[in-house]
Amino acid sequence: MPARPRRPALAALVVAALVVVLSGCAEAVDNQEHPNPPPTTPGNFDAPGTPPAAPGFEVGELPGQVTALGTGAEAAPVRLVIPAIGVETRLVRLGLEPDGGMAVPEDCGRAGWFAGGPAPGEAGPAVIAGHVDSRTGPAVFYRLRELRPGQAVLVERADGTRLRFVVEQARSYPKAGFPTAAVFGPVSSAALRLITCTGDFDRARGSYRDNLVVFARLAVGAANRG
């Protein structure tokens, strides 16, 4: 069996500015109010800004060169379940846009796995992204800010395996200061990053000012079937 190509060292990654503007959801609406806004009690997390008032999704930065690990189809993630916040969604496969930016889900009701990096359960940071809202209301990751340390994130793979990740922390970052190394950089164990938008809506750019990133790790003995 041929050896899998190794991911390049972080120092060798070309970090490029990335602006991925929401394309699949409805356009922004001024003065939109969401029903049942999520609580903003920080707990052990940063306190994100007030719930966004209009839709949009982008990731501030992404390594310009990402080496896929050659993940077999049987290991591809197909479903995400986060019981604490009522998330249950099929996962779509996300690649790169022609300009090198990470693609985002076209459907606001589904999250997507960035297939240019590790799959959930492999060594390294698997990245799953989703919208926070749309013109018609909350989207798949609208309640992501409610997650707290110790809560479970479940990922089902095409081979029937279910992986259990445990939330460690979450942080909100200005998009101009997106933590590329912390999110996409190599780690020795299996990790998971959940990304959405947060903060105020910048009408001049047509997107949110901040990203919310939830960091999780694979639980010991986390894989099971059925």
Tens digit of each residue's pLDDT (9 = 90 or more) over 149-168: 999 999 999 999 999 999 99
0.75 exceeded by the pTM?
Answer: no
The mean-pLDDT minimum among 99-103, 171-175, 181-185 falls in: 99-103
Percent of all residues in the chain with a pLDDT value above 90, rounded to a whole number: 43
d(CA 149, CA 167): 5
End-to-end CA distance of the chain: give it in Å, rounded. Answer: 29
The residues with which 34 forms a beta bridge, in sequence order, are none
Beta strand spans in 95-180 (E): 111-114, 124-129, 133-134, 137-138, 152-157, 161-174
Domain ranges of the chain: 10-225
pLDDT at 222: 59
- What is the rounded distance in angstroms from the CA atom of residue 76 to the CA atom of residue 215? 20
CB 174: neighbour CB atoms within 10 A? 11
Collapsing DSSP to helix, strand or coil, 211 comes out as: strand
Q: Which CATH architecture has domain 10-225?
A: Beta Barrel (2.40)
Q: What is the CA radius of gyration of the chain?
A: 17
Q: What is the pLDDT of residue 50?
A: 37
* Residue whose structure tokens are 């922390």: 169
- Confidence label for 226 from pLDDT (cuts 50, 70 and 90): low
Residues 6+ apart with CB under 8 A from 24: 104, 105, 106, 107, 108
Residues 20, 102 contacting (CB under 8 angstroms): yes
